[in-house]
Structure 1
Amino acid sequence: MKILVLGNGGREHALLRALSRDPQVGELHAAPGNAGMADAATLHPVDAADPAAVVGLARELAADLVVIGPEAPLAAGVADALREAGVAVFGPSKAAARLEVSKAFAKDVMTAAGVPTARARVCADRAAAEAALEEFGAPHVVKDDGLAGGKGVVVTEDRAAALEHAEACFAAGGTVVVEDFLDGPEVSLFVVCDGEHAVPLTPAQDFKRIHDGDAGPNTGGMGAYTPLPWLPEGFVDEVMDRVVRPVLAEMARRGAPFTGVLFVGLAVTARGPEVIEFNVRFGDPETQTVLARLQTPLGQLLADAAAGRLGADRTLEWSDDVAVDVVLASAGYPAGSSTGDVIEGVEDALALEGVDVLHAGTARNEDGALVTAGGRVLAVVGRGADLAQARERAYAGAERIRFTGAQRRSDIALRAERGQITVPERSQA
C-alpha cells in the first residue's frame, strides 16, 4: 500500500512509525509533516485542512489510503472530499466529526443512545452559565463547545475562574457546556470503527496539566502510559457495550455512520465508566505509547476499517511490555510557544535501550539544525518490562535532550508505578 498521512504532530509521527512496520505498506507520504517525519516519509507542503489540495495530492500520488491525523481537516470535510473523489480514507465525515467539533452535539447523541455521562447544560450567556454552575456545584467543569486544541476545558474549585472561561468563550462568539464533575481516574480508549463494527485498542492515561501534581493550566497533554494495571476487570468490554456500540448505532441512525477512530475519554466512577468527552481521531500523546505496543499490522487494520471490512470478531495483538512517554514542551507553553530554539541530544536519546523520540513541534533552520517550532516539541517514549523500567528509560531519554526553556513533568505515570491510583468502589445502584 501507498499511504498518505495528514498532519504534522507527534501523533502523526507515531502513526508513520507504526505503519512503517506493516509489511503491506510499501510507501509513506505525509502532509505537511515535520522535521522528524522526514526520516519516515516523503513530505509534501500541502495544507492538511484544504480539501481540494489534499484530494489533488492523493490523486497525484495514487494513494491507496489517506489517514487523517488532526481534528481540523476532519471538521473541514477533508474526508468527505476524498470519498467523493473515490480515494479510500480513514477518518470520519464532517457530519460524524461533530462528535468532537460540538460537545453539545455529543451530549445529545449520548442522551439518545443511553450512554453514561455527566449531567450537563448548554449555555449561551452569563446568566445561563451562572445558573448551571449553581446547579452542579464545585468542582466546576466548563467546556468550550467548539474545537480548542485540547485546551478548551476548565476544571476548577474557583467559581470566578469558571465564569471567566465561560465569558471568554461567549466573547469569541461561542457557547459552553457546563457539566457535573465526574470523580475518579481518567482513561483514554481509542476504538477503530468501520461504521458498524469496532475494535478497541489498549487503554491509556494521559496528563493534561503543565506542572507536576496536575497543577497549572491544561495543555494538549504532557505525557501518557499504557497499559493501565489498575483498571477493573472487564472495563473495555463494558465500554464497548455501554458506550461505543450504542453511539455507532445512533450515528448510523442519524445518517452519519462513524468510520475512523472514536477516542472515548472516560472517568472510572463508582457507577462504572462514564464518558467525559469524545474525540474523532487518535489522541496525542496517548497514541505514541499505544502504537508503540501494537503488533497487529496497522496499515491493513486502517484500510479494512476504511473499506467497512473490520467484522465483528477482529482482535489485535500487543507486546507484553509497558510504554511511557514524556513530552518536552517549549518555553511559554501552553500560553504560547518559543520557536527557533536549537534542539540537541536527540541522537543521544535514541542510542539508549528501549527509547524512541517522536517529533511534534520541530523544524530545520537555515543551517539545517533541528529547532523548536511549536508548543509541544518532542515525546520521548520509554518501553520496559514494567512501569518502573519504562519510566526510567523515558526520563533517561528526556535528560539527554536540551533546548532553551524546555519544560517537562517529572511525575508521568509515577502514581501508577507506586500503586497509588484508587478506583472508586462500584456502587450497587
Structure 2
Amino acid sequence: MPFDLDKLCGDDLFGIQCLPYGIFQPSDGSKARIGARLGDHVLDLFGMFGDACLSACSLNSLMAQGRGTWNELRGRIIESLERPRFRDSVVRNAHALNAVHLGMPFDVADYVDFFASEHHAANVARLFRPGTPPLHPNWKSLPVGYHGRAGTVYPSGVPVKRPWGQSASEGGMAAYGPSGKLDFELEVGFVVGRTSPIGQPVTVDEFDDYVFGVNLVCDWSARDLQAWETFPLGPFTGKSFCTSVSHWVVPLAALEGARQPLPPQNPLPSSYLRGDAPPWGLDLALEVAINGHSISKPNFRDMYWSPAQMLAHMTVNGARTRVGDLFASGTVSGAREDELGCLLEITRNGNSPIALGNGETRAYLEDGDETTITGRALLPNGLTVGLGEVRSIIA
C-alpha cells in the first residue's frame, strides 16, 4: 500500500471528519476533475464512484444536484474509507497532494462582500471618523454589504498585481498611480449551491438547503483608492481588482459541531432576519501571516451578523441566488490587538507599522510580500476541521 489509510483518516485537519471538495489535475496531465482531500492526498471521486457530475472541472455540477446528493456523496466517501471491502478502490484513486495541480474550485456566478464584524466596523470608523459614533445608524439593523466582481475571484497561489487608480494627493486633488496602501482582509466565504426562484427571498431557516460549503477568502483592498472613491456610492476599483479564495470548499456537514450562538443582537433584528433558532456563528480559529511571520489570530465566532442572516438580507428584495454564488463575511476582527483582520486596523492606517520576524517593518504590503491565511474549525469533541489556506504573493 502506498500510504497508511488509517493514518490519513485520522489526520488532525484533513481526516475523515473534514473531506473538503476541490478541483485537481493528476500528474499524468489528464482532465481536471472533482476530488476530496484526505490528509496529504486527493481522492478522485469520479474514479471511485463514476457519477457524471464528479467528472467536471468545477464543483458547480455537483452543487447543482442539491442537498440530498451532497449528503449522500459525503456518506459514500465516509463508507468507502471505513469499510475494508472498498480499500482497493480508495488506494487506486488516491493521488499525492504534492503531485497534482489544484485549480479554481467553482465557477463564481456572483460575489457579495459583507461588513459583519462589529469590531472591524467600529475600528474603521474610529480611524476615519474620530469623534463620531463608531457605527452608522443602520449598521445594527441589517448586514451591510456590497457587490464585487465575480470575474476577479482567483484561487490561492495566483499572484496579486498591485492596482493603479486614483487617490487623494497632498493638495486634496486626484492623483493617478499605483496604490501605496495595499492591504489584505481575512474573511470567511460561503458558497451557494442552489438557485432560488425569481422574486422569492431565501429565509434564515433555509440556509442549509442553499449553502454548499465554506472556504477562506482574502478580500484585497487598495486603501488609498478606496478612501478617495468610497463616497458617495461605496467600494469600487479599490476592491474589484482581486479576491483570493482557498482551493478547498468544506461541506456544511463537516462544520455542524462548530456552530455556536452569536453574541446578543440589540436591537432585535427585523422579522426576516429571525428564524426558528437563535442566530449562530462558527468557531473558526483563523490566522494571517506576512512572509511567514504570524501577525493576527481572530476567530469567526466573534462576528455580529450570522451567515444565515447575510444570505437572507442578500435576497430580501427578491434577488435570486445562483449555483456558484459566493458571499463573504467581511473582515474578521476581534476585540484584542492580536485579533485584527487587516493592516488598516493593525497599523492604524499605516501610522504604527508592525515588526516582522526578520527585522523588517510593514505599514502596508510591499511588492514581493507573501500573505498566508489559514483556518480550522474547532469541534466540541477535540477534533479539528481544516479550511485550507489562501497564499498570495504581491507582484
Confirm or deny a common fold (TM above 0.5): no
Bigger helix fraction? 1
What TM-score, normalized by structure 2, do the two folds share? 0.31
Q: Which has the higher contact order (CA 8 A, sep 6+)?
A: 2
What TM-score, normalized by structure 1, do the two folds share? 0.29
